Amino acid sequence: MIANIAFYVCSIILLASAALVVSSRNPVHSVLFLILSFFNAAVLFLIAGAEFLALILVIVYVGAVAVLFLFVVMMLDIDFAELRSGFQRYLPVGATVGAVLFVELVFVLGGWEFAPQAPVLRFSPAPANVSNTAALGRLLYTDYIFLFQAAGILLLVAMIGAIVLTLRDRKTSRHQSIRAQTDRTVAETLELVTVTVGAGVKEIGILRPKPVDPEPVEEVHHGN
């Protein structure tokens, strides 16, 4: 009974927070609603018995990804008026892409059906000698190893593309030249000074003051 109530409550909060992520005007609020949806999804994983996925969702997505999103959004100086200025111009393209995605989802959901052995496996007891983490790892790295590696390659390509698109070479910034540093000779970097006993810093030429021109002296004539 308690599990059913927790399932429905967390499901409703999850759907509401997911809708607020895309509909909120403030990006900081969107990230906070995203964190709330992650927490509710983790609770649903716990109810389903997938404790490993629940902990990974909280540790990785809430503790790292969502917090990174929050810091990036807070540090960016976003001009919302400029972002909304091109809404009408890109509306036909966005509407076309959204319609294509909606048609694809309709086709996928329309052709989806339960596997014949799904009702039987649903009520079958879980093996006692295999943990949830071991079963998940065995499934990923045996049956779906190629899809798992393909997903990793796609994420790597996306990361490289984001770095290439955002990297800017600023001419005003200082850059370290390793070749210029290694080509320096000893004479350019080291100076040997013979210091006599009792000689000061000024006498050996390290802190030699700049010569100052003497001020002109006005002649004063005294009358008899």
- Which range marks the domain in which residue 154 is found? 127-165
Q: Which of 77, 96, 126 is the last residue of a domain?
A: 126
Cα(148)–Cα(163) distance, integer angstroms: 23
Identify whether residues 10 and 97 lie together within a single domain: yes
User: What is the C-alpha separation between 197 and 76, in angstroms, rounded?
Assistant: 61
Question: pLDDT tens digit string along 96-141?
Answer: 999 999 999 888 888 777 777 766 766 666 667 777 788 888 888 8
CATH number for the domain harbouring residue 72 = 1.20.120.1200
Contact 68, 58 (CB under 8 A): no
Is the domain of 21 the same as that of 132? no
Cα dist. 132→39, 47, 51, 54 in Å?
20, 14, 8, 11
Domain count, the chain: 2
Distance, CA of 60 to CA of 68 (rounded, Å): 11
Predicted model pTM: 0.56
102 and 60 inside one domain: yes
| Residues 188-210: tens digit of each pLDDT | 777 777 777 766 655 555 544 44
* Residue 172 lies inside a defined structural domain of this protein: no
Domain-terminating residue out of 96, 126, 156: 126
State whether 119 and 137 are in the same domain: no
The DSSP string of 56-115 is HIIIIIIIIIIHHHHHHHHHS---HHHHHHTHHHHHHHHHHHHHHHHHHHHHHHHT----
